[in-house]
Amino acid sequence: MPAKTRKAPVVAMPRASAKITLMFGMVSIPVAMRPHVSDRRKSVSGRVLCPEHMEPCTQLYECRHDEKKPHTMTKSDTVLGYETAKDSGTFVTLPDEVIESLVSDREQAASIRVFVPTSSIDPLYYERQYALWPQDGAGQPYDLLTVALRSEDVSAIVTATISKQTRTFSVRWSEAFGCLVASLLYFDSDVRWEDGEVIAASVEDRAGTITDEHITMARSIVQSLSGEFDSGEVTDTYTETLREAIAAAAEGKAPAAAKPKQVKAASNDLLASLKASVEATGKAKPKPKVKA
């Protein structure tokens, strides 16, 4: 009697927000993408109300073309316009079909331009993270790219059209999530280089003020507090407290006010502060957390 073969369990993949085809040399890898981090935190948001009737208000837009008789309208009555030049005051509208014709095909082939050490990309450039998974039939080439990126500890720099814009992003292996992650990168023009130069100059001016004794004690504090990063260790206590205050107000009760924490005044003597810190951390060293 022939042995029964087990069927692999069907895993429902997330809904893709975009699809592209990575070109690894002559190997094409169709992948689906979805934002790995939500822009909307599970927080409590308020509504703008009429203070007399306690009902939500409708936002109105005012046109002051005629200063004597300005008129208002809702958002659905407005149109989207684009200024022809900076501070020109002249606007034009573009039909939806024209806007769509300017967007490249979202299924375009995105060639890997270069592989760079992952550590060479400053986290400052990471704008948004996407999870990547292979489309039907692309599992083997996806796994091949995964092995190549993991073994060399590099990121693939790719250019593709995401959300109606041609953008550059890096594709890397994420040890935490066990899959490939695409990080949308900021444009170089988005980075405030002038601010960084001013701050760097200020740091350079203070060079030489730190002694070997300062460094020794600072390292001692770092070593005594060494552990593993645990993303679940810090929680949003404000949102939970706000929900409790809303529930109390609905029942006509006064919300419980949080007690302010007592903070010691900062000392101007850096060496004395370091010595006190070394003594404090040495008495109560926290257990390092190991993430499963």
41 vs 224, higher pLDDT: 224
Distance CA 249, CA 242 (A): 10
Per-residue pLDDT, averaged over 262-280, amounts to 75
**What's residue 263's pLDDT?**
60
Flag whether pLDDT at 12 surpasses 50. yes
**Are 86 and 111 found together in one domain?**
no
> Is the CB of residue 28 less than 8 Å from the CB of residue 19?
no
Helix axes 212-224, 270-283, angle to 10 degrees: 30
What is the number of domains present in the chain? 2
**Are 111 and 161 found together in one domain?**
yes
> Is the CB of residue 169 less than 8 Å from the CB of residue 182?
yes
For residue 128, tell me if it sits in a domain: yes
At 68-85, the pLDDT tens digits run 889 999 988 999 898 888
For residue 168, tell me if it sits in a domain: yes
**Are 68 and 182 found together in one domain?**
no
How large is the greatest C-alpha to C-alpha distance in the chain, in angstroms? Answer: 93
The H or E element spanning position 146 is helix 139-152
Flag whether pLDDT at 53 surpasses 50. yes
Give the chain's mean pLDDT. 81
Distance CA 169, CA 180 (A): 12
Q: Which residue has the tokens 């822009």?
A: 39
Given 143, 158, 190, which residue is the final one in a domain? 190
**Are 148 and 31 found together in one domain?**
yes
At 147, the pLDDT band (50, 70, 90 cuts) reads very high
Instruction: Look at the alpha carbons of 230, 15, 153, 144 in this order and tell me if their dihedral is positive or negative.
Output: positive
Q: Which residues are paired to 28 by β-bridges?
A: 23
Distance CA 160, CA 167 (A): 6
**What's residue 275's pLDDT?**
81
For residue 227, tell me if it sits in a domain: no
The phi, psi pair for 236, rounded to 5°, reads -85, 90
Structural domain span for residue 184: 18-38+105-190
Judging by DSSP bridges, how do beta strands 109-117 and 18-24 pair with one another? parallel
Given 73, 101, 129, which residue is the final one in a domain? 101
Give alpha helix (H) positions in 14-83: none
pLDDT over 90 percentage in the chain: 22
| Residues constituting the chain | 292
Tokens in use for 267? 């000392």
**Are 65 and 157 found together in one domain?**
no
For residue 210, tell me if it sits in a domain: no
Single pTM value for the model: 0.66
At 108, the pLDDT band (50, 70, 90 cuts) reads low
Given 190, 221, 241, which residue is the final one in a domain? 190
For residue 260, tell me if it sits in a domain: no
60 closest CA partner among 68, 50, 45: 50
Distance CA 127, CA 131 (A): 14
At 292, the pLDDT band (50, 70, 90 cuts) reads very low
Provide the CATH number for the domain around residue 122.
2.40.290.10
**Are 166 and 65 found together in one domain?**
no
For residue 135, tell me if it sits in a domain: yes
At 164-178, the pLDDT tens digits run 777 888 999 998 888
For residue 282, tell me if it sits in a domain: no
Distance CA 90, CA 81 (A): 9
Tell me which range, 3-17, 182-196, 207-221, is most confidently predicted by mean pLDDT: 182-196
Least confident segment among 15-24, 40-49, 91-100, 217-226: 40-49
Q: Which residue has the tokens 């927080």?
A: 43
* DSSP symbol at 49: B
264 vs 115, higher pLDDT: 115
**Are 32 and 111 found together in one domain?**
yes
For residue 214, tell me if it sits in a domain: no
**Are 34 and 113 found together in one domain?**
yes
238 vs 156, higher pLDDT: 156
